[in-house]
Amino acid sequence: MSERYLLDTSTVSDIIVENAASVRHLMAAPVGSITVSTISEAELLFGVARRNRSKRLTMAVEAFLHRVAIVAWDSAAAKHYAELRVNLESAGTPLAAMDLLIAAQAMALQATLVTSDRAFRHVKGLRAVDWRKA
């Protein structure tokens, strides 16, 4: 089975604005290996709403979301979340709420998180990659 990727919100944004390196990685990924969390879906839809529902941006976000598998946040992710939050807070390196939810989901899915956010480096056991880098 090929590697599974969970794209965070910033990575999807990079792809939508056609960051060349991110798009190259996306195109090279095996068909069916790309997923997006419902958490990122919510953040993307919020971004569209905040920008007064820009027609171009709305169409780009909707088109992207229709082409990838969107995975719901579930009980397995909740279990990882509880453990991660305790560990990160104990270490004095808490993550922002949405980032913590996404990290927990990536771990529950045994997926590689695609992100350019360096905050995720504090999450032990999380496989992460930055597609902005060539």
Domain ranges of the chain: 5-129
- Rounded to the nearest 5 degrees, what angle is found at the Cα of 17, between the Cα atoms of 106 and 35? 25
Residue 97 to residues 7, 13, 84, 101, Cα–Cα distance (Å): 17, 19, 12, 6
For residue range 16-49, what is the model confidence (pLDDT) as tens digits?
998 899 999 999 999 899 999 999 999 999 999 9
- Rounded to the nearest 5 degrees, what angle is found at the Cα of 108, between the Cα atoms of 8 and 96? 45
Domain 5-129 indexed as CATH 3.40.50.1010: yes
Token pair listed for 103: 């990290």
With a cut of 70, list the residues of the chain below it in pLDDT: 1, 53, 134
